Amino acid sequence: MRRCAFLKNSSSSKNASTRMHASRSRSLHVPAAILVLSFSGIGSSTLLAESPSTDQVSTTNTFKLSAGGVIKINDSFGYVNVQGWDRPDVEVTVTKSTQTRIGDKGQTRNKAHLDHFRVTTEHPSDAELVISTVPSSHGLIARAKRGILIEYQIRAPHDAKLAIHHDSGYVLVSDMTADIEATSRFGDIFLMLPHLDTYSVDAKTKFGGVYTDYADPAHLRHLIGTGFDRTAKTTPNHRMFLRVGMGGITITEVPAKPDAPMVVSGD
């Protein structure tokens, strides 16, 4: 199997997936490690005052989505994880966490920091779901993001279309089968999908690499950055549009799961 022209002796899709999971695992375990260190072995008020504290707020909501509907994710930052499942609805879990020093006003500061950003959902119809991250003030957006982590865990029907406009962090999409548009200013995009041959791909990075399981020799190495283009030769076919400013793009094929009966959630 050939991969990027500029990646000699590259690893298999299994190794690419392993690298992605290792990176993701390191990132996801940071908050938990901080939490353990923050609350274990604290025996004095002096140590308590100098120790970091992690506050966390999580919400879960479910929305109906018609077959072939679209999910739009706007202005997200942190970790976005979209996973396909055998249900006709969309489950959105948003977890916000922040770390600061514990003091007399520590908890108040934590809550105020978490309130700097709100994650809103709009559901104009059963064919569209819009998830937006909105700052409380537009004056110091970059500064407000420091020390706050937002994790978006989204489970959606396999045939849902995706339009993800991400700011920084990583985007992981797995087990989806419809059109995918994903952009990120800073960070990595990982796609783990079945039926890669059904996709026409337009993927480019300004500073980084594009790594795929496609055998097509269609990678274009620019002076800075990398591009990959291919046209699907199957019918029906889908569109994959990917852009990253600084970071990488990884497209990995995973085995398709056997068809399972659609589970209809109760009202």
Nearest Cα to 167, choosing from 117, 210, 122, 224?
117
**Residue 225 located in a structural domain:** yes
Instruction: Bin 242: left if φ > 0, else alpha if -120 < ψ < 50, else beta.
Output: beta
**Residue 93 located in a structural domain:** yes
Tell me the pLDDT of the chain averaged across its residues.
Answer: 77
Provide the pLDDT confidence category of residue 47 given band limits of 50, 70 and 90. Answer: very low
**Residue 59 located in a structural domain:** yes
**Residue 5 located in a structural domain:** no
Provide the pLDDT confidence category of residue 7 given band limits of 50, 70 and 90. Answer: very low
Sequence length of the chain is 267
For residue 93, is pLDDT > 90? yes
Q: Which of 16-30, 110-124, 187-201, 239-253 has the lowest mean pLDDT?
A: 16-30
**Residue 190 located in a structural domain:** yes
For residue 11, is pLDDT > 80? no
**Residue 264 located in a structural domain:** no
For residue 36, is pLDDT > 50? no
CA atoms within 13 A of residue 230's CA, in its CB half-sphere: 25
What's the confidence (pLDDT) of residue 117?
87
Nearest Cα to 122, choosing from 73, 180, 182?
73
Q: Determine what percent of the chain is predicted with pLDDT higher than 90.
A: 50
Looking at the structure of the chain, the number of domains it has is 1
**Residue 4 located in a structural domain:** no
Domain enclosing residue 245, as ranges: 13-253
Whether residue 190 contacts residue 252, with contact meaning beta carbons closer than 8 Å, is answered with: yes
**Residue 33 located in a structural domain:** yes
For residue 120, is pLDDT > 80? yes
